[in-house]
Amino acid sequence: MSANPAVRNRLGLVLVLVLLVLLPRIIQDRYHLHIIVMMGIFTILTLSWNLLAGYTGQLNLGHAAFFGIGAYTSALLAMNTGLSPWLGLPAGGLVAAFFGFLLGFPALRLSGPYLAITTIGFAEILRLVAVNWVDLTRGSLGLSGIPLLTPIEIGSWSMKFYFEKDYYYVVLAGVLLTIFCMRRLVRSEFGVSLQALRDDEPGAQSIGINISQYKLAVFTVSAFFAGFAGALFAHFSRLVSPETMALHTTFDILTMTMVGGLGTLLGPVLGAVMLTFLSEWLRYFEDLIQFDIRLVVYGLLLILTILFMREGLAGVVKWIADWIRSALKGEKGGTPS
Amino acid sequence: MDALFFQQIVNGLIIGSIYSLIAIGLTMIFGVMQISNFAHGDYSMVGAYVAVFILAWIPGWLGWIGSLIAAAAAVGVLGIVTERLVFRPLLTRWTDIDMIMVSIGLFILLENLAQLFFGATPRMLQDPFRGATVNIGVASTSVLRLTCFVLAGVTIGGLQLFLNRSKMGVAIRATAQNRFAAQLMGIDINRVYSATFALGAAIAGVGGVLYGTLFAVHPLMGAMPTLKAFVVTILGGMGNLRGAIFGGLILGTAEALGGNYIAMEYKHAIGFFIIILVLLIRPSGLFGKKEAA
Amino acid sequence: MTEILRTEGLTKYFGGLCAVHDVTFSMKEGEILGLIGPNGAGKTTLINMISSALTPSRGEILFKGERSSGIGAHKANLLGIARTFQIVRIFSKLTVLENVLAGVVDRRRKGPWRLIAESIFKPRDGGKAERTALETADRLLDFVEISRYRDEKAENLPYALTKRLEMARALATDPALLLLDEPSSGLNPAELNGQIELIRKINGQGITILIIEHVMKVIMDISDRLIVLHYGEKIAEGQPQEVYSDPQVVEAYLGDETDASH
């Protein structure tokens, strides 16, 4: 009989980590690495959105605004004050967190479509500010030539960040950090409180949960990670435009999270990964049809997921895992315990 | 009165009437089924494209009238199809998030299907009045725009008539007030749902033709009307038809005045500013009903 | 015995409708006070004001000598008032254990930011705090006798057991006063006895209980005193037997054709 489950899990995890670290040796071409880095950035976004929507039940359709704020903040700091992009990463997160805190206030009193529209409005207003405050943001043209991450040099070894490969490791670290934090947050007294709030607000109040404080807190934390992702994006793609805050960016995040599985940790990761793969795969069909059907598929997937596969891909995985587990138990022989 | 000011009011009321038209379908659907349909603006978009094709076939104002009717019919059918396939299955296992998400999925789907089939280049609907203008006091506007205003009013009037006088209309109102009682009275709820969606979508389709006449027709045009319709519905109270009428006119005028006197670039955000303010003070909208604790 | 709760002239209007009018009473520590009255008499509204889910239109509530009207439901809980709901409000997607753990969290000392910090930077106590919390939760589950369902999703629980879960969750917040809103509704006769037992057990732990009930068997059996509400006004107060035979009370119930039959 193989080792006990905890050890098996650890082993599996180590294996995955090793693979992830070695990945740039296996996939060397820059185009694919670029896609993978973006996949990582989106993973951070989906995880952060999921904290708000999946674990706390707050429908934030303006999430892209936090992404954009983080991106602009880090870019502007680097370009105008010469701040090291490495410091820009948390700075982007913090500024976005502040805006998250702000957005939390309307969320205190609104829900459902009212909250949805308010969050959309919030993002739209910010996008228009980015378009029109040309002195600061260069308007629709956006900020280009954003500095690369400054090189790391330890002895003779260095990371110069000229190529996608180096960004891959930074984003990988970012993703792992996000997963680590999310896991801790969610499996803690804080996480249980959020879910209580989600499942029944009056019930949560009756056990001493201050709804307002918790909502503000979760908006702030969620926005921080989205802003952090934005800052990473800024120094990776080196171009930030108001489009980063557009509604369709939020819709991308939302689709990935829902299809992956709302309210779990695996879901957002799976969603970001699978939909990015799908997206690339569909590009091959783009040559046959004049226009890309990627978004048609996105829309269809979202509808189908909610109608037929509510738990998303994570739910399917769980179902398969349960099935395997019970099948294995069955095979152990028939003596009832 | 300052001529420019009056002109803006006229412009605002005209565009506002179209907002009202589109929003009234949305608010009606919400009132009857509590569904917030984020794809609603896409009904308008489809309506506009119907007009594109009809007008290519039969130009002039005959074609224009024809496209209004055709749009209503086609989009009405689309409404029933989407209701049956997408929304009705969720009615039994309801959550706010699911409903809004599935309608977002529908929105993405319709928008991009349109882009696939019709291409991304904007189309223009020809002015059947060939640019004729008319004067209203010190302001002037095109005959086309005035006609749109009148048509919006007529359509809304027709809707009110239908809801008050026809059997199905009464059934719809009854269901909006109390679903269970309506069923107990022998009303076939499923038919009411289909009819509500058909009606709401059809009207949005007509609104789309009018909207497309004033602006361009392109696959992504549904987003604006959707958001504007939501702003109007929140202003007027979700489920409140009269509120939608006033809300639309108010939004249109606010945009025209605000765009002209404050900042043109933020014109489209004016609606959002307004509702954020309104919702901060009254979380259930200006005329909305407070939900029972 | 000390007075733990007092209401003075408590009144609540909903628009033009007066739901509760000028209700004054007090509770002694450790007693079980029953609150009865025909449907719509204002009992739940009264409880909602005491638990601070609603703010009174007029009047005062004093809990442990301090003003507690309108402070907000969560604050009331932090002060020591816990409640259950007429229609059970459990956290359906969480497990039974997690429901209780949510109540165990020491919210008097820790707000959300502290919890966030503690979740990411786990305090170096070798998991002691976690284990203590789990032990407390398990003890409570045992107390209400639903330990079997510990790891089940709360939404899968049979109705009668969700009521017990709600009680365990309320108890987890370490209250001095427990407000029970129709704890017997939806229970069959067999389950009723168990419920009475449980409420007695809770009282035995020193917790003062205010219980709204329709089912006469339960309320007569369990209450030290009774208060009767009718059209929002207190029409009787006293020992169960005297209240039961009070002509005003009888008329209120018969006149409304409600269930004096239980």
Inter-residue contact B169 to B178 (CB < 8 Å): no
From B108, B276, B279, residue closest to A295, measured CB to CB: B108
Q: Helix or strand or coil: residue B190?
A: helix
Q: What is the pLDDT of residues C34-76, one digit of tens each?
A: 999 888 888 999 999 999 999 999 999 999 989 999 999 999 9
Q: Is B292 on the interface with A (CB under 8 A)?
A: no
Q: Which residues of A touch C82 (CB under 8 A)?
A: 206-207
User: How many CA atoms does the CB half-sphere of B291 hold within 13 Å?
Assistant: 11
Gap between the Cα atoms of B246 and B249, Å rounded: 5
Asked if residue C262 belongs to a domain, the reply is: no
Q: Which residues of A touch C80 (CB under 8 A)?
A: none
Residue among B203, B276, B282, B274 nearest B245 (CA): B203
Q: What residue in A sits closest to C121 (Cα-Cα)?
A: A184
Give the domain CATH number at C127.
3.40.50.300
Please report, for chain C, how many H helices and E strands are present, in that order: 10, 10
Flag whether residue A109 sits within 8 Å of chain B, measured between CB atoms. yes
Angle at B81 between CA B78 and CA B82, to 5 degrees: 85
Identify the residue among C48, C55, C74 best suited for mutation to test binding to A, counting A beta carbons within 10 A and taking the highest: C74
The token pair that represents A211 in the structure block: 């709804």
**Distance (Å) from the alpha carbon of B14 to chain A's nearest alpha carbon:** 24
φ, ψ (nearest 5 deg) of residue B95 = -140, 150
Interface contact A102, partner B, CB < 8 A: no
DSSP letter for B221, please: G
Q: In terms of residue numbers, what domain contains C24? A: 3-255
Give this complex's ipTM: 0.91
Q: Closest Cα of chain C to A330: distance in Å? A: 22
Q: Is the pLDDT of residue C262 over 60?
A: no
Residues in chain B: 293
Exposure string over A306-317, b if 16+ CB within 10 A, otherwise e = bbebebbbbbeb
| CB contacts, 8 Å: A206 with chain C | 51, 53, 73-74, 77, 82-83, 85, 89, 170
Of B89, B120, B230, the CB nearest to A117: B230
* Structural contact between residues C69 and C51, judged by C-beta atoms closer than 8 angstroms: no
Closest residue of chain A to C174, computed from CA coordinates: A207
Per-domain residue ranges of chain B: 3-224
Provide the whole-model pTM: 0.91
**Helix (H/G/I), strand (E/B), else coil: A207:** coil
A307 Cβ under 8 Å from any chain B Cβ: yes
* Calpha distance C118→C112 (Å, rounded): 10
Q: State pLDDT tens for residues C139-196.
A: 999 999 999 999 999 999 999 899 999 999 999 999 999 999 999 888 888 888 888 9
C-beta separation of C191 from C199 below 8 A? no
Neighbours of chain A (3+ CB pairs under 8 A): B, C
- The structural domains of chain A, with segments of one domain joined by +, span 27-246
Q: What is the mean pLDDT of each run of 10 residues along chain A (337 residues)?
A: 69 88 83 92 97 95 96 93 91 96 91 90 92 87 85 79 86 95 95 96 96 96 97 93 92 96 94 92 72 84 94 92 84 52
A322 part of contact set with chain C, CB < 8 Å: no
Express each pLDDT in B71-109 by its tens digit.
999 999 999 999 999 999 998 887 888 999 999 999 999
From CA C173, how far away is CA A208, in angstroms rounded? 8
Q: Which residues of A touch B269 (CB under 8 A)?
A: 121, 124-125, 128
Residues of C in contact with A220 (CB under 8 A): none
Within 8 A of A59 by CB-CB distance, chain B residues are 96-97, 100
> Of the candidates C46, C79, C61, which has an alpha carbon nearest to the alpha carbon of residue C7?
C61
Chains that contact B by 3+ CB pairs under 8 Å? A
Helix (H, G, I), strand (E, B) or coil at C30: coil
Task: Give how many domains chain C has, as a whole number.
Answer: 1
Unique residue bearing structure tokens 């269930």: C259
Nearest-CB residue to A307 (from B89, B115, B223): B89
Which ranges constitute the DSSP H helices of chain A? 5-26, 30-53, 63-76, 85-109, 112-132, 134-137, 164-186, 189-199, 201-206, 211-237, 247-260, 266-286, 294-308, 312-331
